[in-house]
Amino acid sequence: MTPEITHDSVAAHLEASIKGTPVSFDDETLSQVSDVAKIKKFYKLGALPDPKATNEANGAKRRLELSLLGAIALQGS
């Protein structure tokens, strides 16, 4: 019989197995660690503005997200 898998048991296993500092997985943390230039180059999204460098960051971020999702979907088919 296998032991019950819970959030706490998974977190404890990961903490014991991975060397590093845990961070929360949310939009703010993700935007701090993402390299937008590399993402745009890899998915050939060069014409889109960098959300971190524009005055209308929310609109640019949304366009980049939608374009990125579309590029990922196309690669998967």
The secondary structure of 13-77 as a DSSP string is HHHHH--S-----SHHHHHHH--HHHHHHHTT-TTSPPGGGSSSHHHHHHHHHHHHHHHHHHHH-
46-61 pLDDT per residue, tens: 777 666 666 666 777 8
- DSSP code for 6: -
Is the confidence at residue 65, as pLDDT, over 70? yes
Q: Which two structure tokens, joined as six digits, stand for 31? A: 């935007």
The contacts found for 12-19 with CB under 8 angstroms, 24 or more apart, are: none
19-55 pLDDT per residue, tens: 988 888 898 898 888 888 898 888 888 777 666 666 6
CA 39 to centroid of chain Cα atoms: 10
